[in-house]
């Protein structure tokens, strides 16, 4: 695009946005001239009053900051926390911690203030400490709280930075289907899709259909066509899990890369990706000025954080050296040196969460080359394959204090080998014929990974429950609205 065209487009975008009312974030970051008359809109977060002046803090969710409204005169209007209001007044320099404030003078005919939306007397989001379990009972309004609103802003920032990273690495963003005829993992933890008009033997799609547990198989098709492809989409698991780390509906970042023949090419890529996002947050922290003095907390990129915990997590992500790599066999040997005798692991045992925590105690770590019997049908055999202890070229990324964040592998690209693997895993050969056909039609080596987006946001925010970073969490027994 020519420079003149870019300039014209930028002017058009600015012009077209003039009809939108400015957000509080815009008003504070690009302040109006002192003394000018402006309008501001938001929810009442807190109120306080004296005989001659009153104060109302409003927020519209566009950032973590509130705008202080100064009510002048003895006859001050009364407001309740939670009401949405619009106020027109004089833009002034702030006299407290806030750099600016808006003064409303009832005697000035150019000033006005009005309640747009009232609240009931039992409005639950008052200016006091509230627990996460309590907030989860109000899914329709809980996001107006500072903490939960900040999680949504962090999600937005992380997604933007991921898109930026993939763009720099020449990836194509794609949209695989959410309805599929195959179970990618082969574990049977799928939600079936039915239509009210379905008749016995005549399903809507002509065959059994499910909500996807992973878009990987379709993503492989697209990556082989586009060289490198990625997606961020919802996935669904019909798993009876009630932990703080699992959801029935969650967002998965998945990527597939053509022409890779070493699992370490994929681990290096995902490490660089996570570092890129984390560094963007650390850079924001250095320039952030909105510190809650004395309480050990802060806002970074509009996200409310426990500063010491988050900085400790980020520093472990941003180590000067590459994160360690350790094979499953080495991990078992390492754990058995510190585990009690009655908790010793045998080769082939699954690593539990406590084992993952021990392995990732000091920094993120990649565990590679797991036993073949533990993994799905599509994984390529390890480079150093041992028939006595068969392993596949895969990895899990474990992070301190949290456990698994991502997993991936090289994909089997040989037609005959993949066919035998499908048969040995008792997969439906007819349903999987389209996937197997990829290996008949111009096959090539490739690999990829999946990363739990809620887990990543939870970790970077210094939180401990994925249900709070999902706007409307879905889990067994949990679907309030």
Q: What is the pLDDT of residues 266-297, one digit of tens each?
A: 999 999 999 999 999 998 876 553 323 233 44
Q: Which of 66, 90, 123 is the last residue of a domain?
A: 123
457 and 364 both lie in a single domain? yes
Same structural domain, 447 and 315: yes
Shared-domain flag, residues 318 and 358: yes
Looking at the structure, tell me whether residues 320 and 211 fall in a common domain.
Answer: yes
Mean pLDDT of 221-237: 97
Q: Are residues 87 and 147 in the same domain?
A: no
- Please check whether residues 60 and 151 belong to one and the same domain: no
Neighbouring residues of 234: CB distance < 8 A, sequence distance ≥ 6: 178, 249, 250, 251, 252
- Residue 129 inside a domain? The answer is no
pTM of the model: 0.90
pLDDT of residue 290: 31
Higher pLDDT, 426 or 119: 119
Say if residue 214 is in the same domain as residue 284: yes
What's the CATH number where 320 sits?
Answer: 3.30.930.10
Q: Are the CB atoms for 454 and 235 separated by under 8 Å?
A: no
Q: What is the mean pLDDT of the chain?
A: 90
- Predicted pLDDT of residue 295: 36
pLDDT, tens digit (0-9, with 9 covering 90-100), for 99-133: 999 999 999 999 999 999 999 999 999 988 788 88
Q: Do 118 and 146 fall into the same domain?
A: no
Q: What is the pLDDT of residue 76?
A: 85
First-last CA distance in the chain: 45
Q: Are residue 64 and residue 156 in the same domain, yes or no?
A: no
Strand partners, 398: 365, 404
End of a domain among 63, 90, 123? 123
pLDDT of residue 275: 98
Between the CA of residue 90 and those of 96, 101, 278, 289, what are the distances in Å? 17, 8, 40, 25
Share of the chain above pLDDT 90, in %: 76
Give the whole-angstrom CA distance, residue 181 versus residue 190: 11
pLDDT of residue 82 exceeding 50? yes
pLDDT of 407 > 60? The answer is yes
pLDDT at residue 2, rounded to an integer: 58
334-348 pLDDT, tens digit per residue, is 999 999 999 999 999
211 and 87 in a common domain: no
Q: Is residue 432 part of a domain?
A: yes
Looking at 89, 123, 157, the residue that finishes a domain is 123
Mean pLDDT over 43-58 rounds to: 92
In this structure, are 199 and 87 located in the same domain? no
| Assigned domain for 224 exists | yes
Query: Which CATH number fits the domain that encloses residue 109?
Result: 2.40.50.140
Domain that holds residue 95: 24-123
Q: Higher confidence at residue 430 or residue 79?
A: 79
Lowest mean pLDDT among 130-134, 398-402, 469-473: 130-134
Q: 473 in a domain, yes or no?
A: no
Total domains, the chain: 2
Cβ count within 10 A of residue 141: 15
Examine the domain organization and report whether 271 and 383 are in the same domain: yes
Q: What is the DSSP string of 391-454?
A: BBSEEEEEETTTEEEEEEEEEP--HHHHHHHHHHTT--TTTTHHHHHTTTSS---EEEEEEEHH
* pLDDT at residue 187, rounded to an integer: 61
274 belongs to a structural domain: yes
């Amino acid at each position: 695009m020519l420079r003149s065209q870019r300039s014209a487009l930028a002017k058009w975008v600015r012009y077209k946005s003039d009809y939108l009312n400015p957000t509080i974030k815009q008003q504070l970051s690009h302040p109006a001239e002192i003394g000018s008359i402006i309008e501001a809109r938001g929810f009442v977060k807190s109120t306080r009053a004296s005989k001659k002046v009153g104060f109302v803090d409003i927020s519209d969710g566009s950032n973590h900051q509130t705008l202080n409204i100064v009510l002048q005169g003895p006859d001050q209007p009364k407001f309740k926390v939670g009401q949405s209001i619009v106020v027109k007044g004089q833009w002034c320099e702030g006299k407290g911690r806030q750099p600016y404030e808006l003064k409303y003078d009832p005697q000035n005919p150019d000033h006005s203030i009005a309640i747009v939306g009232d609240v009931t007397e039992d409005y639950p989001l008052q200016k006091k400490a509230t627990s996460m379990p309590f907030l989860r009972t109000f899914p329709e309004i809980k996001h107006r709280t500072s903490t939960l609103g900040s999680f949504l802003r962090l999600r937005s920032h992380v997604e933007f930075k991921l898109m930026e990273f993939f763009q720099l690495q020449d990836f194509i963003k794609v949209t695989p289907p959410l309805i599929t005829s195959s179970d990618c993992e082969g574990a049977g933890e799928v939600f079936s899709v039915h239509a009210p008009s379905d008749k016995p033997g005549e399903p809507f799609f002509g065959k059994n259909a499910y909500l996807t547990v992973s878009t990987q198989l379709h993503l492989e098709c697209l990556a082989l066509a586009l060289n490198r492809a990625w997606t961020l989409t919802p996935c669904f698991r019909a798993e009876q899990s009630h932990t703080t780390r699992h959801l029935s509906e969650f967002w998965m970042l998945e990527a597939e890369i053509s022409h890779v023949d070493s699992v370490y090419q994929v681990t290096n890529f995902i490490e660089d990706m996570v570092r890129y996002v984390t560094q963007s947050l650390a850079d924001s922290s250095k320039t952030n000025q909105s510190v809650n003095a004395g309480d050990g907390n802060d806002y970074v990129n509009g996200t409310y954080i426990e500063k010491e915990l988050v900085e400790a997590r980020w520093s472990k992500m941003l180590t000067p050296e590459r994160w360690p790599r350790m094979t499953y066999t080495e991990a078992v040997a390492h754990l058995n040196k510190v585990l009690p005798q009655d908790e010793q692991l045998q080769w082939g045992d699954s690593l539990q969460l406590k084992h993952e925590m021990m392995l990732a105690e000091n920094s993120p770590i990649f565990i590679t080359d797991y036993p073949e019997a533990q993994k799905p049908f599509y994984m390529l055999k390890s480079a150093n394959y041992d028939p006595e202890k068969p392993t596949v070229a895969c990895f899990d990324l474990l992070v301190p204090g949290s456990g698994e964040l991502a997993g991936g592998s090289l994909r089997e690209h040989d037609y005959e080998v993949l066919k035998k693997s499908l048969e040995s895993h008792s997969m439906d050969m007819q349903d999987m014929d389209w996937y197997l056909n990829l290996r008949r039609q111009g096959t090539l080596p490739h690999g990829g990974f999946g990363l739990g987006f809620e887990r990543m946001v939870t970790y970077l925010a210094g939180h401990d429950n994925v249900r709070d970073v999902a706007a409307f969490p879905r889990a067994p027994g949990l679907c309030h609205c």
